[in-house]
Chain A
Amino acid sequence: MKRKVQKALSMVTMSSLLFLAACNGATETTTKDKSKETGTNSDPNSMFIGLVNPPTGFNPINSGDVAAMFIQKYFQDTLLEMDGPLNFVPRLAESFETTDGQHYTIKIQPNANWSDGTPITADDVAFTINTIANPKSETTQGANISMLAGLEANGKLPEGQTELSSVKVVDEKTLELTTNVPVDPNYMKELFGLNILTLPKHILGDVPVEELAKHPFMQKPTVSSGAYTFAKYEKDQYVELSANKDYYQGAPKLEKLFIKIMPAPNLVAQLQTGELDFNVSKGIGKIAVQDYDTVKKLDNVTASVEPTIGFQTIYFNNNKFDKEIRKALAMAIDRSLLVDKLLKGYGEVVDGPYSSLSPFHDKSAGEIKYNPEEAKKLLEAAGYDFNQTLDLVVPIGNKVREQSAPIIAQSLEKIGVKTKITNYDFPTIMQKGKAGEFDLLLIGFTLTLDPDVSTVYATGAAYNFMSYSDPKMDELLLKGKQEADVEKRKVIYKEILTKIIDDVPALTLYSDHDFAGVNKRVQVGKPKTFGMHADIHQWSVSGAN
């Protein structure tokens, strides 16, 4: 008898685990509607796009990851859009004007409403700015309002204040902003206009600023200012968006938009099966270079190739290597090999931080030519110790960058410079970088079209892991940031570019193109470097085929 009880007890505990599984499975699978059991790729009202990185949340003022910011722009409108390099078009702001570069008047679209019918007002935008400026709020947007007058040196409101004096609500739909000093209007439009996502004051206005980041709205936004509304996010699987029928630019053509999350190899497989309409590219939905040919050969897919402003660099530890040695190392790296062989031609060799898409790209500023013989001579002349092994530190995540490391190491080996490659995850790279625990370090950036690069090259800047410090450079960077006249800025930034190429604190390796596969059923909508979200309400796919 006792044995039977034991047996029953053990069986019950044992099976309870499996039973739990069954229960949970069942809740996931309740059937509501059986009409749509067939394949999704013939659904003319839905579009499916693919990403690799899962978003962390949908907080308009506190999204640190590119994937979240990308997804948010479908249901949280920016004030402006950019449909070509520095070509700004209206979005939530009907107009965004200045006469002197210091006073800006922003008019919100008169018919723009939140998806619950409440008008989107200048008050909402002012509330957003004040929240970002509040020292107690958690935000990643601080730098985008740092040009406004009335902020402390750290970019925050002075103690005890909750409203920024330079933000003035004129009427329901009009807002006036004042900057500290006159700035290039493009700088203002790009940083403020393209990045600030408006918070709904009627929903979040009464939430204490310290609790805002944990508010459920930041995970499941209940109102939308964009062409789509947020339907749901199944963790690590997909984000489902529905059309916002009352969108001020007109109702979207699609009923549903799905943003699917999967590893890079699956992007290719799902393009092939038609489960995906396109991959997002842009560093968050990239296909591996070795799959480019496979995608190009698919019958149902066309390839889309777009140059970008992103670039990859190799940092030299300036505390360990002086200018001559840095220059020699730079000359020894065969960058055209990286572009031709590794990127299969889908990229370009760039000197300095501006790719050929940037209006500040200037070939006449100088060039570092591949010349191993000369490099070796320079090293010998500088008394370089060929017996040492250099630490080449590589972040994991970007496959192409990982693959570039051994090619770079080989280039250096040719002139007798020994290296040891070590891969680390991103937080480790940040720590090693900040502590200067590397000789050579690979890192990539997508900065703004605005040419300010002080975050990389200014003394003590957040990403100046090289410990590059030059008073002349600091002065130029500051001058460039505070100059409002576009032509004068071009002169300043050419000088900066020349200095970067001449001092080689770091060497820009390449700027790679975005490569995406787009299903042929897609009529409007595809990955773009600029203004990808500009026409999302017109995205459409052809009917069943």
Chain B
Amino acid sequence: MFQYIIRRLLIAIPVLLGVTIFNFFIINLAPGNPVDMFVNPNMSAADILAKKEALGLNDPLWEQYGRWMGSMLQGDFGYSFATYEPVLDNIAARIGPTLLLMGTALIIAYLIAIPVGILSATKQYSFIDYLTTTFSFFGISIPNFFLGLGAIYVFGIVFPIFPTGGMTTLGSSGGFVDTFMHLVLPAMVLGTAIAGSMVRYVRSSMLEVLGQDYLRTARAKGLREFFVNNKHALRNALIPIVTIIGLEIPLLIGGAVVTEQIFQWPGLGQLTIQSIGSRDYPMLMALNFIAAFTVLFSNLLTDLMYSVVDPRIKYN
């Protein structure tokens, strides 16, 4: 097991290296360059040149990449081209809000999806089943921006219960309650959307297991229906669900671009979009690196989770 983890981590190194090379050249292929964002009509040609020189944009690409890699290995992701702040400071300031929002949203999604999915599968073709499939269908189909704006309108304007955006009330000193109130709408919007697709996964994976012979055996030996469903069936249905959960962990870091924008949530999604818009190469490289790392890490985590939910799976 321990060896397996080490092996997986070692494999991750060349993968990460490949990802950074690929990203670096793709980002540089995008039309335009960071200095274009500063070219307002009143800026002189000499100033533009000086800026390019200072940002190192006049050097050949492989040299720029080498420089980036060199400092990255020392833990230095460089300075943002747009704000001149250290890249890591910028990311650090946003990772907290993103984790808070996405973490809450995923928890909401699981809390809704798992029980509802099980219920819907065990009562297949009943009224409840049709109701949940219909609602999950809505959850998948309604775009987040629509749900978000709708929520702002209903709960922020018509019934002013929750603030319409931001993370704290300005002028106040914040506090747990204040942040919680700001968190409710965006987390609910995201959570219900994710739950929509989750419900379907849970339902179909439960249905598959419910048809298995060993469940009939369990019932035949007189187990109560509750235990049959929630212990024998659920345990086996969990494997595909864990895969889905694993796939969604990178979301925690990636953030939700649209929802973050609508609710002015200062997360990584917003930062990514801004960085693309301003061709902020160092920032994009760091964001991509973190994303790649999270994907690899969560894949490993998912594989390890398999052996927890299914003892038959062993890694050597």
Residues of A at the B interface (CB closer than 8 Å) are: 2-3, 6-7, 9-11, 13-14, 17-18, 20-34, 36-37, 39-40, 43, 46, 48, 54, 56-57, 59, 62, 64-66, 135-144, 146, 154-156, 191, 195, 210, 213-214, 218-219, 234-238, 240, 256, 258, 260-263, 265-266, 269-270, 272-273, 275, 424-432, 445, 447-448, 455-456, 462-463
Contacts and interface: CB of A to CB of B under 8 A. Distances in A.
B54 A210 contact: yes
Given A18-B107, A266-B165, A275-B164, A56 B83 contact: yes
Given A30-B174, A235-B93, A236-B266, 4 more contacts: A17-B103, A39-B169, A65-B37, A138-B54
Contacts of A138: 47, 50-51, 54
A236 B50 contact: no
A27 B96 contact: yes
Given A24-B100, A258-B171, A272 B107 contact: no
Interface of B, helix, strand, loop or mixed by DSSP: helix
Closest 8 CB pairs of A and B: A427-B32, A24-B96, A64-B38, A21-B99, A154-B46, A430-B36, A21-B103, A142-B47
B156 interface: yes
Interface string B278-316: 110000000000000000000001001101100100000
Contacts of B96: 21, 23-25, 27-28
Contacts of A22: 100, 103
29 contacts: A6-B304, A13-B301, A21-B103, A25-B96, A25-B97, A27-B96, A31-B175, A40-B171, A48-B170, A57-B85, A64-B40, A135-B46, A139-B47, A140-B38, A140-B43, A141-B47, A144-B42, A219-B84, A235-B94, A235-B266, A237-B167, A262-B165, A263-B264, A266-B264, A270-B164, A275-B164, A427-B277, A428-B31, A431-B31
Contact of B156 (A28, A238, A273): A273
Contacts of B279: 427
B274 A266 contact: no
Contacts of B262: 263, 265-266
A273 B160 CA distance: 8
A140 B173 contact: no
A455 B278 CA distance: 22
B64 interface: no
B173 A14 contact: no
A155 B44 CA distance: 8
Contact of B44 (A20, A29, A30, A143): A143
B145 to A, nearest CB: 9
A154 B44 CA distance: 8
Interface in B63-82: 79, 82
A39 B93 CA distance: 26
Interface string B92-129: 01111101101110010000000000000000000000
A2 B311 CA distance: 11
B10 interface: no
Contacts of A256: 171
Interface in B139-179: 149, 152-153, 156-157, 160, 163-179
A33 B173 contact: yes
Given A36-B171, A262-B264, A430-B39, A57 B149 contact: no
Nearest to A33: B173
A296 to B, nearest CB: 17
B42 A448 contact: yes
A191 B44 CA distance: 13
A354 to B, nearest CB: 15
B308 to A, nearest CB: 5
Nearest to A9: B304
A524 to B, nearest CB: 19
B222 to A, nearest CB: 28
B205 interface: no
Given A6-B308, A64-B40, A427 B156 contact: no
B249 A17 contact: yes
Contact of B97 (A24, A141, A272): A24
A428 B32 contact: yes
Interface residues of B, number: 81
Interface string B41-63: 11111111011001000000000
Contacts of A455: 41-42
A240 B44 contact: no
B90 interface: yes
Interface in B226-276: 249, 252, 261-262, 264, 266, 270-271, 274, 276
B85 A17 contact: no
B220 interface: no
A202 to B, nearest CB: 22
Contact of A17 (B1, B41, B99, B156): B99
Nearest to A36: B172
Given A64-B40, A266-B152, A218 B172 contact: no
Nearest to B38: A64
A266 B259 CA distance: 12
B157 A272 contact: yes
A269 B85 CA distance: 32
B17 to A, nearest CB: 24
A32 B47 contact: no
B50 A37 contact: no
A29 B42 CA distance: 42
Contacts of B174: 28-31
Contacts of B6: none
A503 B146 CA distance: 47
B290 to A, nearest CB: 13
B31 A432 contact: yes
Contacts of B175: 29-31, 34, 37
Nearest to B263: A266
A29 B178 contact: yes
A269 B156 contact: yes
